[in-house]
Amino acid sequence: MTTSAALDTTPAWALLADHAAAMASADLTALFAAEPARLETMVLDVGEICVDLSKQAASAETLAGLAALAKTAAFDDWRTRLFAGAVVNPSEGRAATHIAERGSGAAADVAAAAPGQAKLRAVADAVRGDGTRHVVHIGIGGSALGPALLLDALGHAGEGPGGHTGDGPAVHVVANIDGIALSRALAACDPAATKIVIVSKTFSTLETMTNANSALDWLAAHGVADPRGRCIAVTAAPGRARDFGIGEANILPFADTVGGRYSLWSAVGLPLAIRCGVAAFDDLLAGAAAVDAHFQHTPFARNLPALAGALDVWAATFMGKATRSVFAYDERLRLLPSFLQQLEMESNGKRVDRDGHPVAYPTAAITWGGTGTDAQHAVFQLLHQGTHSDPVEFVAVREPGHDLGATHHRQLLGNAFAQGAALLRGRTFDEALAMTGGDEAIARARSFPGNRPSTTILLDRLDPRALGSLLAFYEHRTFTAAVLLGINPFDQWGVELGKEMASALDAGGNFDPSTEGLIARAGL
């Protein structure tokens, strides 16, 4: 296997580290003048998505250095491995075959995914036509965040181009073990016309199984004779679904080489096919496949997910930026930041390389964010004038999803672009002084350092195809960052200890004095 041993001891790494020191004081505005080709090299399109990386704190020299690091990190080999269905997740000895769910990658993996894909379509069509009016989708993490994003982005009737979306049963996504989540969903459902979709790769996750059992109890309490007959299971552990009492026809399998946070392309995406129809699901997959082809075949310098991933490494690892915020300037994408939090932080929040050696450098930044313009009136103060200067990302859509008139959307997009421009430009002390009639203290408070990096992503429209492209772009970007860091983006051992301790707590184990005090106070 291609090893990653000690990337930080290589000449490519050392060059970037030296260069980072120089770039720490670089004037980003001056880079536009100094680099006439900057827009051409840093504003790239794939499918219906345009990504403007030109306001990042990176120069042509930075990009060349990152290309050299990609070579040192054997980026081409790892990308080949991903698309060949070879092991890319060494700690679990697995390939990562989510791309096969959308028809990309190794023919054998695509063939293996086909029956599950066919079954999900058949089940979705059946549910759309059998009188079901409500679906409760129970899952957590990757078994909920992707489906919830898809539904919120595409599932509201009349909001897609041509008003094509959201004509099937209402789907309620329930994740939290807090019974409030399930209670609220069930309160909106008619038990006589409700189906329960239990989504769990392992079919053993505490939250999901607890919610599933309570949903079955609710059906029974409301006179449904065969609650399990109302259930559909989506899982990579079909045996456990059978043991749970779900009939074979209602078990939708997917491969254990499909990671939870990469799984919305598989039967985990069933709610989209139920709510919006199978054609919408097909378009989602087609949009992702277009980005797969771009990522697989485009040289590094023009490869959009690769460049964006490399620049993430540049910011977090070399420039020491601890966070990256993402603001969806489109209400339909308001769940994108929480989806990306899992994708990026569960994938690349690692402290050993893929061979198990501790890494001596920062890996993934903390992903956070919100919705624009709301966030401008809440957290943007820190982004503009706080002491951190971390990258900000704006995601906007050219076509509006409503027909309330042009003002809303013109202001929305204008605000998104203005924020990026303001972060870059800032306001000097002298400019502020002129505004404040010479009051120096107020002028200092009203000065903006500027020179703060951002990325802007602009979709032509928000339809299933464009959303598929956008999410595949983020997946490959995350994969690229992992390769340049030498880490495994496809495992998540860091979530285990908390789960074990919760079980131990349930079983009455001993803990530290603080935790013991909390247990006693809560009466557990």
Q: Which residues are catalytic?
A: 346, 377, 499
Q: 208 or 257: whose CB is closer to ligand F6P?
A: 208
Residue 143 binding ligand F6P, by CB under 6 A:
yes
Q: How many CB atoms lie within 10 A of CB 404?
A: 8
Segment contacting ligand F6P (CB under 6 A): 140-148, 300-308, 429-437, 482-490? 140-148
> Measured at the alpha carbon of residue 115, what is the angle toward residues 113 and 118, in degrees to the nearest 5?
110
Residue 196 binding ligand F6P, by CB under 6 A:
no
Q: Specify whether the CB–CB gap between 161 and 283 falls below 8 A.
A: no
Give the shortest CB-336-to-ligand F6P separation in angstroms: 17
Report d(CA 313, CA 182) in Å as an integer: 39
Report d(CA 275, CA 147) in Å as an integer: 11
Residue list 235-264, contact with ligand F6P (CB under 6 A): 260-261
DSSP 345: I
Q: 97 or 200: whose CB is closer to ligand F6P?
A: 200
Give the shortest CB-198-to-ligand F6P separation in angstroms: 9
Give the shortest CB-140-to-ligand F6P separation in angstroms: 5
How remote is the C-alpha of 147 from its chain's centroid? 11
**Cross-strand pairs, 326:** 369, 393
Q: Which of 229, 274, 268, 246 is nearest to 134 (CA)?
A: 274
Q: 260 or 391: whose CB is closer to ligand F6P?
A: 260
Pick from 47, 65, 142, 253: which binds ligand F6P (CB under 6 A)? Answer: 142
Q: 430 or 500: whose CB is closer to ligand F6P?
A: 500
At which residue do the structure tokens 């293996």 appear?
A: 112
Both structure tokens of 235: 């899982």
Give the shortest CB-273-to-ligand F6P separation in angstroms: 18
Residue list 338-357, contact with ligand F6P (CB under 6 A): 346
Residue 198 binding ligand F6P, by CB under 6 A:
no
Q: Which of 218, 280, 309, 254 is nearest to 101 (CA)?
A: 254
Q: Is 524 exposed, middle or buried (0-12, 13-18, 19+ CB in 10 A)?
A: exposed
Give the shortest CB-202-to-ligand F6P separation in angstroms: 3
Binding-residue total with ligand F6P (CB under 6 A): 14
Q: Which of 267, 271, 258, 262 is nearest to 195 (CA)?
A: 271
470-502 CB burial, b ≥16 within 10 A, e <16: bbbbbbbbbbbbbbbbbbbbbbbeeeeeeeeee
Report d(CA 211, CA 495) in Å as an integer: 20
Give the shortest CB-85-to-ligand F6P separation in angstroms: 21
Residue 211 binding ligand F6P, by CB under 6 A:
no
What's the Cα-to-Cα distance from 94 to each of 36, 197, 201, 331, 481, rounded to whole Å?
A: 45, 27, 15, 37, 19
Pick from 116, 141, 400, 468: which binds ligand F6P (CB under 6 A)? Answer: 141
Q: 494 or 517: whose CB is closer to ligand F6P?
A: 494
Residue list 100-129, contact with ligand F6P (CB under 6 A): none
Report d(CA 30, CA 14) in Å as an integer: 25
Residue 146 binding ligand F6P, by CB under 6 A:
no
Q: 141 or 227: whose CB is closer to ligand F6P?
A: 141
- Using CB atoms, what's the residue nearest to ligand F6P? 260
Give the shortest CB-201-to-ligand F6P separation in angstroms: 4
Q: Which of 1, 254, 252, 235 is nearest to 109 (CA)?
A: 254
Segment contacting ligand F6P (CB under 6 A): 126-134, 198-206, 360-368, 407-415? 198-206
Q: 102 or 261: whose CB is closer to ligand F6P?
A: 261
Residue 497 binding ligand F6P, by CB under 6 A:
no
DSSP 439: -
> Contact positions toward ligand F6P, by CB under 6 A?
140-143, 200-202, 205, 208, 260-261, 346, 492, 495
